Each structure stands twice: as C-alpha cells, then as structure tokens.
C-alpha cells in the first residue's frame, strides 16, 4: 500500500509487482481533506495519522476512510525545521515560497517505528500509539459506558473494529471474568432506575440491556434466564424491555434454548401488545421443547397464526395431516364457493407450500423433516390428497375435495409442486402409482366441471404435456382429453377471455403438447378462433414464413409488428433465398395494407431491401392517396425515413410523379418540398405546376431555371389580379384582400431583389418599372367617379412620394425623376462610404499615436522633488506617492496638493505639473501684455484660450482611463 498527498487530496494506491519486476496499481482510493496537511504517517497497515497546520492529529482508517479520532497536540510544542529552509549560511537569500514552507516543515520532527509515532517537542519527546482492545474496553467501563463497551467488544469479535493491533480477544477469559461479577453489570442498571416519571423515561433507561443479552447467553446462560431475569422481573418496564430485546436474537437463530417460563412470558408480552405477527415469527424459530404446546395451539387458532400452528404440530407431535385437515375445513367453503380469501387467511402460498414441503421432505415453514420420516410423510400426504371425501363430509360435498381446494387456491403453484415431487419419485414404484392416480383425479376434477377458467385448465394440460414429453415418462393420458381441451380453448362461440385462452394454448404447445394434436386440425381451429399467435407458432415450425405475415396483418394487437418481422426475415442470416423471396412476394401482395398501416415503415422497408423495385411497388399502389403517402415518406427527408437518399437511385419520373400528387393533395407545401427534393427535371416539373395553376411554384421553378423575366411576369400577373380583386370588392373582404396584395407584392419585390445584381440596367428596368406601374394603376381610380375602397392603403404600399403632379400621369412622365433619384442615391452612397473610410483611417492614426505616447515609459530629469527639492527613497516612514509627468518633472503628491495642482473632474483627481503650468501662465501673461501694448489684441481676447467641446473632453477622458498605466504613479 502506497500513499501520497497532492493538494487537499490523499491518494491510497494498492500495488503489486509482476514477474518482470514492474509495479502495477491494482486499486486506488482518494481521501478529500478539509484542512491543511503538514505531515503524513502510517501507524500500521490499516491506520494512518495526519497532522494539520493547527497541530491536530487525525486518525484515519484506510479501508473506510473514516476519521476515527482527532487529538490536539499543541502541548507537545512540536519542533519545526524553519532554520533549514531559511539558508542562514547564505544570509537568508531564499524565495518567499521556500520561506513559507519552512514555517510549517516538520520532516525531521516526526518518525514512526513499530506501531509507534515519535514527536520531537521543544522540551521532550512524545510517543503515541494505538490502545489495545482491552485498554479501550477498560476505559469505557471505568466511565460506566456499558453499552459502548459491549458494542466495541462485539466489533472486535466480528472483526469489524478499526485501528486494531491484534485480535486475540477472549470474552470469557478477559472481558467478563477478569475479576468482575457479571450480575452487578445488570444490577447497576436496575439500582439506578428512576423511582418515578414517565414510562418512556424508564424504557429509555433500560435500553442498555439488548447488547448485554447475547454476551450473557454465550457465557452465562444459566445466570441470564435465572438470577438476571429474576432481578429484571422486579420491574415491569425492565422486564418488558428485556423480553423485546430477545426478539432479534431469536429471529437470527442465535438464541434457541430458553426456559419455558421465559418463553411463556415472551409470548404473553407480545400478545398483550397486539403484536401477533411478531409472536408467529418468534414461535417458528423457537425450540419446541420450551413451549407450552396446548397454550400455543389455542392461541394460534384464535389468532389465525397458521404458520405457527403447522410448526407446532410438525415439530412437537410429528403430525402432518391434522393441521392440513383443520386448514382445509376452514378455507374450503369460501374457495369452492368462488369467493376470494380475505387477508386473515395469510398469504396465498400457504397451502401450496405446506403441501409442497411435506411432499418434498421439508418441514414447514423452516428446516427439514427427519430423514426416517420422509417416506412416511410423503405417503400420508398423498393418501390425504386423493381421498374421495373428507372426514366430516356433507351430502353436497363434491368428490376429491382436497385436490379441488388446492386447484382453486392456486392452480399453477400446486401443479408446480406436483412437478417437483414427480422429479423426486422416479425410482419409487409406489410413487409412480401415486402419480398416475393423482393425474387421473386432476383430469376428472377439472375436465368434467365448469368451475375452472380456461387459464386453469390450460395450466393442467401444460403440466401434463411437460410430463408426457419426458423421455422416462410413465404416465398415460387419453389423447381424446387433449382434443377436448383444444375444443374448449378454441370455441368460436366464446368471445370471453380471448387473449387468455390463446396464451394458455400457446404455453401448452410450447411445453411439448404439440405432439398430442393433429397439426392440420389445430391450424384450422386456431384460424377459426382467430388465434393468430398459434398460427404463427405452427407456420414457423413448417418454415412457412410468408403465411406469418397474414397472421400479423389480421391481428389488431400486433399488426404494426409486421414490419419488424419482415425486416428480420430479410436481414437475419439463416433463411434461404426461397424463403426470403416468398416473404417479399407476400409483402408485395399486401403492399397497400402495409402502406395504409404505416407509410413511413413501409417506405423504409422498401428502400432498405428492394430499392431497385420501387417502380414495381408504385404500379401496385392503385390508390392515389396511398401512393402519395408512400412517395412522401420515401422521398421527403423531413418525414424521418432512416435510409440514404442517394442510394435509392430512382428515375426522375418517380420524383415528378410525387410532385404531381403533391400538387393535388397538399399544394401549400409544394415549394417547401421542392427546396429539399432532388432528382427532378425542371421543364417537366414546370409543366406539372402549370397544369394545376400553381403560379407561385411555377415562378420559383422558372427562377431556379434562370428565366427571371418569365418568373417575374407570373408574379406580376398574380399581383395585378389581386389588385383588380381589391378594387372590385365589398367591405367584408377588406382585410383579407389587403393582406393578399401585401404578401404578393413582398414576394415579387423579393424576386426582383434576389436577381437584380445579376442583370444589366435595361433588364432591371424591365422588372422594377412594370412593378411600380402595376402598384400605381389603382391610384388613378382615386379621382374617378367610382373610386375603390382602399386608396390610402394602396398608396402607402408604393415607393413614390404622394405628389398631385404625378397622381394621374403615366410612368413614362416620371421616369426621369425616378432615374435621377436613383443616380443621386448612388452618388450620395459612394460619397458617404468614401468619407467614412477617410475618417476611420485618420481616427485610427490619431489613436495609434496617442496610445503610443500614453504607454511610453517616463524618465525623470532629476531624482528629487521639484518643489521641496528633497530626494525620494525606496522606503520611507510614511508611504507617499511619487508623481512623474511626461515633461520629466518629479513631485511628491503631498507637495503638489499644497501647491493646489489638482483638478477634480467627475469625482476623480487629475494632476498638473507645477513648474510647467507656472511657466505657461507667466509666459502667457507677458505675451498678452506686450500684445496689448502694441494694440494688436484687446485684453478680453488675450485672456481667452481655445477649449474642447464636451464631446471631445469625454472622449479624451475615456481614452486616458483606458490606457492609464502604473508608471505614472508610484508608491515608495
């Protein structure tokens, strides 16, 4: 086992060395820490001790990664190796990282040897080791922690203890008898019991006893159920808690033998608390000799504890038939009357398993019957089951009541029990006779009565078929009975439980019952009863796979599974070419049914297996709607068919046929579909769309062909037709017609825009001017005697200014105006782009220069402040800012503040050079005064200075903030 630490994670690696000497990691675990680790030490192979930076030891169990204990060792005053990391011999010239590590380095201060860890302190050496198991237990006992001591001792006993040194643990020699009397451990709890208070307080006080019980039972059984029990019985609460703590040990078979008095008190205690299920669970785990049999039997009958009752009869009196007679007497009437058993009759497996245990030589509900009694018990049970009548039979009782009751109770389970029993009786002549006898009884009871469902009858004959199919079978069953069952299950007059009867017959055939029937008659009856799964089973035996397709198509519950079946036959190896061809031919015969059922699945099936026969499939689809659905699923990739479209290799005529059907049944989707389709001829497709007068689709195809003018004429004609409709409509159609005109106009404009860049001037004019004239034509009616309803709406759709001069003129009269507008637009657009490019270049050049000057390093002209004339140093008593300007002057920030060389703008302080600003002011004053004297300028003009507008100031401030560097202000 290796371990290493990386960051806050400790990695444990289990390694082994192979024959070549190489080391391989076989297992690894990771422990995530929540503290800073400074030392890692193994104390043994299962325990590791970690030391954190605050001098706390963390004891970790390697296997579970559980932190077992945390110990504070600050009093040790651990020695750290700081001096070794400070390089005192070299004057302490080490990195900050190494110096930081040295503060907590303790590599030479901690060492482990022989399961001990040595810690070097400033005054002494400390040794730490794990306590032995005895020391730990003694420590808990001295603190009067009895429960914790027992729990720890038991963990040692079971090998689950952690941080263990050795395991030579002997309870008797050390823990319980090491100078200690065990009774005081019990007495101490009784003596310290509170005199008064709530019952819950007293129960909580005595909860220490469950952990005591098992130890006392191991080594002081006599004391546990005599002196200790007598002492606890003095307090009713203590006695109750003690009895309840026995339950888990009894159920786990760790406490088997107890005194009759304790057993009696235990049963009475749980009975008083109405915990009868607990009582029954306890009884079947107890030694029968410690029970009062009469008391227990009466209690079991009164409370319907049938498991416990059978256990007492079987174990206490070796009686196996009497309890079964009593149970049959109770449960037979409601079962034979067809009523469902209520919950108090226990689980439905009670009878079946009680019978099966006896027949198989096992005791119920636990254990085994003594070997010398097994043959006798089996014979007794068989004789009991095949009795013609019960002991107290009424005149109305039917024959074989016990077999009848078990069949009604759980037919399948009872027959499974018989099947298992028959396996054990192969070489027993008497048992073989019993087998034939009980089979005859089963047939007589179930076949000659109508009380049983088809499922129950089917279970019987499935059981018989399995028995008859065995190579060493000795049973005889009249074949006529199987024919009767076939008639019963396949009765066409009985529509009830159709699926149940078919499933029963299928199980019968699969179990080997097929040999009991004439196959041709079976198929005829199955077809008549519409048992298509039975037909499939029979056809598959004969390799008539093509007929199975009919079975799927006729079965409404499984008809959609036909596609997977055909695909599997055509894909999975193992089928001959003739079989595959017959399946495909059958699929072709039913192609219309397949397409009608699931067009997408049918198309995928054809495309996957017979893509070269698609035209044959099309010819078989006479129904145009089905053909359209099939071709749409086959050709439209949006339908989700999972085949490669390029692999279909279909002629263009198939795609064009689909387009024609699409024009008939879904014309609104033609354009969207054409955009994703391939392999169609434009001329033929255009003719199809013209045939069905889909003008928009025709325009799309003409545009795709390259005939832009032809596409435009079609769209223009549509637009003119819409405009004509809107000028001759009533008010009720107003909104709809306007929307149609707007949509058509937008589509026409989009057509012109898409293709204008590929046309010359004359060709573009042939598009745009007819469109404009068509839109302006209805406006000429606005001044006529019969104006239309929407002059303003149509006028808003045109692109010409609404000027009265052009309201009634022809387009030729305003052609010069439009061309002039277009030329002006082109000129102004070119001028704008050129100007923008020049401005961007100039701005880029200016910003580059400004950035270079701002980011350039500054070199002070002197090493002293230009105001106080004192030199600045690396470190001062008080940190002060040193400010260097681009002119080379250097100042203390304190000095500049005293000279009032700061400007507050937008909440930020800006500095100005004291010397430069003073010289500029003096120079400007002298210059201004001389100018005034010479009469060149007025005083007001001399005092004025050029200033930036607000937008320029904002841009400059933003640039300064963006490129401000640390070289301008330094802290010394």
Residue 853 lies in a domain: no
Residues 166/168/171/176 CA torsion (nearest 10 deg): -70
Rounded Cα distance between 930 and 921, Å, is 14
Cα torsion angle, 841, 846, 850, 856, sign: positive
CA–CA distances in Å: residue 835 to residues 313, 432, 615: 113, 114, 65
Q: Give the residue from 332, 280, 277 showing the smallest Cα distance to 311.
A: 280
How confident is the model at residue 950, as a pLDDT?
61
Least-confidence region, from 774-778, 781-785, 875-879: 781-785
Section 939-946 average pLDDT: 40
| pLDDT of 462 over the 70 cut | yes
What one-character DSSP code corresponds to residue 20? T
Where does the pLDDT of residue 168 fall: very low under 50, low under 70, confident under 90, or very high at 90 and above?
Answer: very low
pLDDT of residue 657: 92
pLDDT digits (tens, 9 = 90+) for 826-856: 788 888 989 989 988 988 888 888 888 777 7
Quick check: is 806 in a domain? Answer: no
Q: How far apart are CA 933 and CA 509, in angstroms?
A: 133
In this prediction, residue 322 carries a pLDDT of 83
CA angle, 691 then 696 then 701, to 5°: 75
> What average pLDDT does range 669-692 have in this prediction?
90
Binning pLDDT at 50, 70 and 90, where does residue 949 land? Answer: low
Count the helices and strands in the chain (H runs, E runs): 45, 15
Q: Among 569, 535, 571, which Cα is nearest to 554's?
A: 535
Q: Which residues of 316-342 are buried (b: 16+ CB within 10 A; e: fewer)?
A: eeeebeebbeebbeebbeebeeeeeee
**Which residue do the tokens 């707007």 mark?**
742
The whole-angstrom distance between residue 915's C-alpha and the CA centroid of its chain comes to 75
What 70-75 contacts at long range (C-beta under 8 Å, 24+ apart), as own/partner pairs, is 71/128, 73/119, 73/126
Domain count of the fold of the chain: 2
Looking at residue 802, what is its pLDDT?
Answer: 42
Neighbouring C-beta atoms of residue 566, cutoff 10 Å: 26
Q: What is the pLDDT of residues 356-378, one digit of tens each?
A: 677 666 777 777 788 788 778 87
Q: Is residue 27 part of a domain?
A: yes
What is the Cα–Cα distance from 259 to 736, expressed in whole angstroms? Answer: 100
Half-sphere exposure of residue 771: CA atoms within 13 angstroms, side-chain side: 27
- What is the extent of the structural domain holding 883? 860-913
> How many angstroms separate the CA atoms of 709 and 766, rounded?
8
Q: What is the mean pLDDT of residues 891-909?
A: 80
Is residue 705 in some structural domain? no
User: ∠ at Cα 469 (467, 475), nearest 5°?
Assistant: 45
Q: What is the pLDDT of residue 663?
A: 94
What does the pLDDT read at residue 85? Answer: 61
Flag the least confident range among 603-607, 861-865, 932-936: 932-936
Could you give the CA distance from residue 552 to residue 570 in angstroms, rounded to a whole number? 16
Among 144-148, 345-349, 774-778, the minimum mean pLDDT is found in: 345-349
Most confident of 80-84, 341-345, 414-418: 414-418
Integer Cα distance of 44 and 164 in angstroms: 9
Question: How does DSSP classify residue 171?
Answer: I
Q: Is residue 493 part of a domain?
A: no
Backbone angles phi, psi at 121, to 5 degrees: -100, 175
Among 279-293, 418-432, 476-490, 623-637, which range has the highest average pLDDT? 623-637
Q: What's the pLDDT at 146?
A: 67
The span from the CA of 36 to the CA of 544, in Å, is 77
C-alpha 41 chain-centroid distance: 42
Per-residue confidence at 491, pLDDT binned at 50, 70, 90?
confident
Q: Which residue has the higher pLDDT, 940 or 330?
A: 330
Query: In this predicted structure, what is the pLDDT of residue 697?
Result: 92
Residue 177: band (very low, low, confident or very high) from pLDDT cuts 50, 70, 90: very low
Q: Does the pLDDT of residue 553 top 90, yes or no?
A: yes
Binning pLDDT at 50, 70 and 90, where does residue 447 land?
confident
Residue 886 located in a structural domain: yes
Q: For 908-916, what is the mean pLDDT?
A: 83
Distance CA 270, CA 240 (A): 9
Two tokens, residue 29: 């675990």
**Three-class DSSP category at 60:** strand
Q: Of 129, 149, 164, at which residue does a domain stop?
A: 129
CA triple 627-628-630, angle to 5 deg: 65
pLDDT tens, position by position, 501-538: 888 888 888 888 888 888 889 999 898 888 999 999 99
Q: Which of 238-247, 306-315, 380-389, 591-600 has the highest mean pLDDT?
A: 591-600
SS3 433: helix
Is 156:164 a contact under the CB 8 Å cutoff?
yes
Average pLDDT over residues 651-671: 91
pLDDT of residue 809: 47
Percent of the chain with pLDDT over 90: 12
Structure confidence at residue 689 (pLDDT):
92
- Tell me: pLDDT of 803 over 90: no
Counting Cα atoms < 13 Å in the Cβ hemisphere of 91 gives 1
110: domain CATH number? Answer: 2.40.10.360
Q: Is the model's pLDDT at 582 over the cut of 90?
A: yes
Q: What is the pLDDT of residue 628?
A: 93
Which tens digit of pLDDT belongs to each residue from 35-77?
A: 888 888 888 877 888 888 888 888 888 777 788 888 888 888 8
Query: Positive or negative, the Cα torsion across 584, 589, 591, 596?
Result: negative
How sure is the predictor about 966, in pLDDT bands with cuts at 50, 70 and 90? Answer: very low
Contacts for 592 with CB less than 8 Å, ≥ 6 apart: 620, 621, 622, 623, 626
Q: What is the CATH number of the domain that holds 873?
A: 3.30.40
Rg for the chain, CA atoms, rounded: 52
Is 80 exceeded by the pLDDT of residue 726?
no
Q: What is the three-class DSSP state of 967? A: coil
The answer to whether residue 680 scores a pLDDT higher than 60 is yes
Residue entry with tokens 């199975």: 548
Residue 718: pLDDT over 50: yes
3-state SS, residue 120: strand
Residue 956 has what pLDDT? 65
Q: Where a domain ends, among 70, 99, 129?
A: 129
The Cα–Cα gap between 234 and 649 comes to 98
What mean pLDDT is predicted for residues 253-278?
84
Per-residue b/e over 498-530, b at no fewer than 16 CB within 10 Å? eeebbbbbbbbbebbbbebbeeeebbebbbebb
- pTM exceeds 0.85, yes or no: no
Query: How many C-beta neighbours within 10 Å does residue 952 have?
Result: 10
The closest of 723, 749, 750 to 738, measured between CA atoms, is 723
- Quote the pLDDT of residue 701: 93
Last residue within a domain, chosen from 129, 154, 188? 129
What percentage of the chain exceeds 70 in pLDDT? 71
Provide mean pLDDT across the span 295-302.
86
- Classify residue 606: in a domain, yes or no: no
- Identify the pLDDT of residue 566: 93
Rounded distance between C-alpha atoms, residue 44 and residue 825, angstroms: 92
Integer Cα distance of 65 and 47 in angstroms: 9
Contact indicator for 900, 947 with CB cutoff of 8 Å: no
Predicted pLDDT at 424:
67
pLDDT at 457: 85
725: Cα within 13 Å, side-chain hemisphere: 17
pLDDT digits (tens, 9 = 90+) for 309-361: 888 888 888 888 888 888 788 777 776 665 555 444 444 345 555 566 776 66
Nearest to 808 by CA among 781, 829, 788, 787: 781
3-state helix vs strand vs coil in the chain, percent to 5: 60, 10, 30
What pLDDT, on the 0 to 100 scale, is given for residue 660? 93
Q: How buried is 97 (Cβ within 10 angstroms: 0-12 exposed, 13-18 middle, 19+ buried)?
A: exposed
Residue 596 pLDDT greater than 90, yes or no: yes
**Residues in a beta bridge with 12:** 3, 29
CB 552 within 8 A of CB 565: yes
Q: Is the pLDDT of residue 886 over 50?
A: yes
Flag whether 786 is in a domain.
no
Tokens of 366: 């636990």
Strands 9-17 and 23-32: antiparallel
SS (H, E, C) 828-878: HHHHHHHHHHHHHHHHHHHHHHHHHHHHCCCCCCCCECCCCCCECCCCCCC
Query: Please, what is the average pLDDT of the chain?
Result: 76
Top-confidence residue, 691 or 731 = 691
pLDDT of res. 178: 39
pLDDT tier for residue 690 given thresholds of 50, 70 and 90: very high
Interatomic CA distance for residues 680 and 661, integer angstroms: 14
Q: What is the mean pLDDT of residues 704-724?
A: 89
């Amino acid at each position: 086992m290796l371990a290493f630490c990386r960051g806050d994670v400790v990695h444990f690696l289990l390694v082994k060395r192979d024959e070549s000497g190489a080391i391989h990691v076989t297992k690894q675990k990771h422990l995530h820490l929540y503290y800073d680790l400074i030392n890692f030490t193994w104390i043994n192979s299962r325990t590791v001790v970690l030391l954190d930076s605050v001098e706390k030891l963390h004891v970790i169990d390697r296997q579970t990664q559980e932190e077992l204990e945390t110990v504070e060792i600050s009093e040790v005053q651990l020695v750290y190796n700081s001096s070794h990391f400070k390089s005192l011999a070299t004057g302490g010239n080490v990195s900050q990282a190494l110096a930081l590590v040295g503060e907590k380095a303790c590599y030479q201060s901690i060492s482990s040897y022989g399961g001990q860890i040595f810690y070097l302190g400033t005054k002494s050496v400390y040794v730490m080791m794990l306590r032995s198991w005895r020391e730990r237990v003694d420590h808990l006992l001295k603190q009067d922690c009895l429960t914790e001591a027992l729990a720890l001792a038991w963990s040692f006993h079971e090998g689950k203890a952690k941080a263990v040194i050795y395991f030579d643990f002997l309870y008797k020699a050390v823990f319980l008898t090491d100078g200690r009397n065990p009774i005081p451990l019990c007495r101490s709890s009784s003596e310290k019991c509170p005199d008064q208070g709530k019952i819950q307080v007293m129960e909580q006080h005595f909860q220490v006893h469950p952990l005591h019980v098992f130890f006392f039972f191991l080594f002081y059984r006599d004391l546990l159920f005599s002196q200790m029990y007598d002492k606890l019985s003095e307090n009713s609460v203590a006695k109750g808690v003690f009895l309840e703590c026995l339950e888990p040990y009894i159920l786990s078979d760790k406490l088997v033998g107890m005194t009759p008095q304790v057993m009696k008190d235990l049963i009475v205690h749980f009975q008083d608390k109405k915990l009868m299920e607990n009582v029954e669970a306890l009884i079947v785990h107890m030694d029968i000799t410690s029970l009062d049999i009469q008391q227990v039997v009466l209690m079991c009958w009164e409370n319907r504890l049938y498991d416990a009752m059978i256990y007492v009869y079987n174990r206490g009196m070796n009686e196996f038939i009497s309890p079964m007679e009593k149970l049959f007497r109770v449960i037979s009437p409601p079962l034979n009357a067809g009523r469902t058993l209520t919950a108090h009759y226990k689980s439905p497996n009670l009878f079946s398993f009680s019978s099966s245990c006896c027949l198989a030589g096992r005791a119920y509900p636990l254990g085994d019957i003594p070997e010398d009694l097994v043959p006798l018990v089996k014979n007794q049970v068989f004789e009991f089951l095949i009795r013609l009548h019960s002991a107290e039979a009424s005149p109305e009782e039917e024959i074989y009541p016990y077999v009848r009751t078990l069949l009604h109770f759980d037919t399948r389970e009872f027959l499974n029990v018989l099947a298992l029993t028959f396996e054990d009786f192969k070489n027993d002549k008497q048992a073989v006779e019993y087998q034939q006898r009980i089979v005859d009884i089963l047939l007589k009871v179930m076949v000659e009565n109508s009380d049983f469902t088809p499922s129950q009858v089917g279970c019987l004959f499935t059981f018989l078929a399995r028995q008859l199919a065995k190579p060493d079978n000795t049973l005889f069953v009249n074949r006529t009975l199987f024919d009767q069952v076939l008639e019963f299950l396949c009765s066409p007059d009985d529509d009830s439980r159709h699926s149940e009867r078919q499933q029963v017959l299928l199980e019968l055939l699969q179990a080997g019952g097929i040999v009991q029937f004439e196959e041709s008659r079976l198929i005829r009856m199955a077809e008549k009863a519409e048992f298509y799964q039975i037909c499939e089973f029979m056809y598959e035996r004969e390799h008539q796979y093509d007929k199975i397709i009919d079975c799927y198509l006729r079965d409404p519950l499984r008809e959609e599974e036909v596609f997977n079946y055909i695909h599997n036959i055509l894909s999975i190896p193992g089928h001959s070419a003739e079989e595959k061809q017959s399946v495909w031919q059958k699929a072709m015969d039913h192609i219309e049914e397949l397409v009608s059922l699931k067009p997408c699945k049918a198309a995928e099936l054809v495309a996957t297996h017979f893509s070269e026969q698609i035209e044959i499939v099309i010819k078989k689809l006479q129904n145009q709607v089905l053909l359209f659905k099939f071709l749409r699923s086959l050709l439209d990739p949006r339908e989700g068919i999972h085949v490669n479209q390029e692999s279909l290799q279909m002629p263009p005529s198939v795609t064009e046929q689909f387009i024609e059907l699409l024009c008939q049944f879904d014309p609104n989707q033609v354009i969207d579909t054409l955009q994703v389709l391939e392999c169609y001829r434009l001329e033929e497709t255009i003719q199809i769309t013209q045939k069905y007068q889909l003008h928009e689709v025709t325009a799309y195809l003409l545009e795709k062909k390259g005939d832009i003018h032809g596409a435009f004429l079609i769209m223009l004609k549509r637009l003119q037709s819409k405009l004509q409709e809107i000028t001759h409509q009533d008010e009720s159609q107003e909104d709809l017609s306007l929307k149609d005109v707007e949509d058509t106009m937008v589509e026409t404009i989009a057509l012109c825009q898409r293709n204008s860049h590929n046309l010359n001037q004359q060709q573009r004019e042939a598009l745009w001017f007819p469109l404009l004239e068509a839109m302006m034509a209805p406006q000429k009616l606005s001044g006529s005697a019969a104006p239309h309803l929407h002059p303003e709406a149509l006028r808003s759709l045109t692109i010409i200014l609404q000027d009265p001069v052009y309201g009634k003129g022809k387009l030729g009269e305003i052609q010069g105006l439009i061309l002039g507008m277009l030329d002006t637009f082109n000129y102004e657009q070119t001028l704008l782009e050129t100007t923008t490019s020049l401005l961007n270049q100039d701005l880029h050049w200016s910003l580059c220069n400004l950035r270079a000057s701002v980011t350039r390093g500054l070199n002070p002209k002197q090493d002293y402040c230009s105001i106080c004339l004192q030199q600045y140093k690396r470190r001062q008593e008080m940190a002060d800012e040193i400010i260097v300007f681009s002119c080379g002057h250097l100042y203390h920030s304190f000095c500049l503040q005293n000279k009032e060389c700061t400007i507050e703008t937008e909440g930020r302080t800006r500095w100005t050079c004291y010397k430069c600003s003073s010289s500029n002011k003096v120079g400007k004053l002298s210059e201004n005064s001389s100018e005034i004297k010479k009469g060149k300028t007025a005083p007001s003009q001399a005092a004025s200075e050029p200033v930036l507008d607000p937008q320029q100031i904002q841009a400059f401030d933003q640039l300064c903030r963006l490129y401000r560097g640390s070289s301008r202000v330094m802290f010394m």
